[in-house]
Chains A and B, each alone.
Chain A
Amino acid sequence: MTDTTGIETEEPGTAVAVADDDATGALVPADAAVEVHTDHSNHPSPRQYVLIAIVLVVLTAIEIAISYIDTEHTNLIIIALFAMGAAKFFLVAGWYMHMRLDQPFFRRIFVIGMIGAGIVYGIVILMFSSTVLKA
């Protein structure tokens, strides 16, 4: 069985990689070696990129419409806005930045940065919001 990356897979969990003669033969971690993409055939097509752009525009339009809602439930509006912001983030990062298809190593580095930022600044806001509010 051959998948779109050119890597022959025999059964779930194993893969046979075919190396060129000019390959260096350097030793690399197995998961890095298996998931290296030799070409870009697994990238979305231009048509798919346009479809994602349309979804992004629609989400932005909904966000703007929500921001005009005059309600006492401000927290609900904030949650809805951030949920849609997160959806747009995953669309851009996953498809346009190819995070969904690229080597997992890059994804891990980025996710560590994002989670680190979320935790650090979440704590900062929680710690200081009460003191600054009273000022």
Chain B
Amino acid sequence: MTQAVATRDADAVVPSAPHAHDTNTGVSNNKLAIWMFIASESLFFGAFIATFFLYRGRDALYLKGPTPDELLNIPFTSVTSFVLLMSSLTMVLALAAIQRADHRRFRLWVLATAFFGLTFISAQVYEFTEFYREGLHLSTNLFGTTSYVLTGLHGAHVTVGIVWLLSLFGRSLQGRLGPEHSEAVEIGGLYWHFVDVVWIFIFTAVYLIPQH
């Protein structure tokens, strides 16, 4: 056993600690990449949320088509938000299971997460269909443009997340996802939780804040 002494002096350089990654930063490059991706995605979604707020209520002067008050079904979207929140719980339980090498539970939880995600997307498709039937198209008014783009982009991210989760499930079934690969699950989980966090703000901005 090699003993290495480390201090908390930020400028000091010491031999790597146990399981420190053999990288310039001492941290996993894959995790660094996903955190940088998440940081850039924060800016990406921030742009669309800011745009939504910028144009919110601007239609009052020259409104065409149905108003948000007529369209939004808050109880329905509250249920889908609850489903997405629960998917974060099942995702973190899947990670805990793979770290314990409990493959059976990992598959159960990761499949549950994908199922919740699929439920959320199905609900969004239903909601978009209802909006369209009510006469709200992408170019009908500013609310249609900003809300379709914002929630649609989020839905696209959820869809990517579902594919990612199912690929993890497939790898597990093939026996190619052991506890030593738990970082792969952790990275998928970080993406999924980020998608959940973004929805927290979209739900508040689009559905809960009074439109008048």
Contacts and interface: CB of A to CB of B under 8 A. Distances in A.
Contact of A106 (B4, B6, B31, B88): B31
Given A49-B96, A92-B197, A29 B26 contact: yes
Interface in B67-103: 74, 78, 81-82, 85-86, 88-89, 91-93, 96, 99
Interface residues of B, number: 71
Nearest to A111: B39
B39 A27 contact: no
A43 B97 CA distance: 12
A53 B86 contact: yes
Contact of A23 (B11, B16, B208): B16
A129 B200 contact: no
Interface residues of A, number: 76
A8 B92 CA distance: 28
Contacts of A85: 200-201, 204
A69 B11 CA distance: 53
B204 A28 contact: no
A117 B201 CA distance: 14
Contact of A28 (B5, B26, B46): B26
Tell me if A's interface is mostly helix, strand, loop or mixed. helix
Interface stretch (B50-58, B119-127, B146-154): B50-58
B7 A14 contact: yes
From B14, B58, B200, residue with most partner A Cβ within 10 Å: B200
A33 B16 contact: yes
A2 B210 CA distance: 52
Q: Report the 9 A-B pairs with minimum CB-CB distance, sorted nearest first.
A: A113-B39, A28-B26, A32-B26, A117-B46, A121-B50, A17-B17, A67-B208, A33-B17, A53-B89
Interface of A: 6-7, 13-21, 23-34, 36, 38, 40, 43, 45-46, 49-50, 52-53, 56-57, 60, 63-64, 66-68, 74, 77-78, 81-82, 85, 88-89, 92-93, 95-98, 102-103, 105-106, 109-110, 112-114, 116-118, 120-121, 124-125, 128-129, 132-133, 135
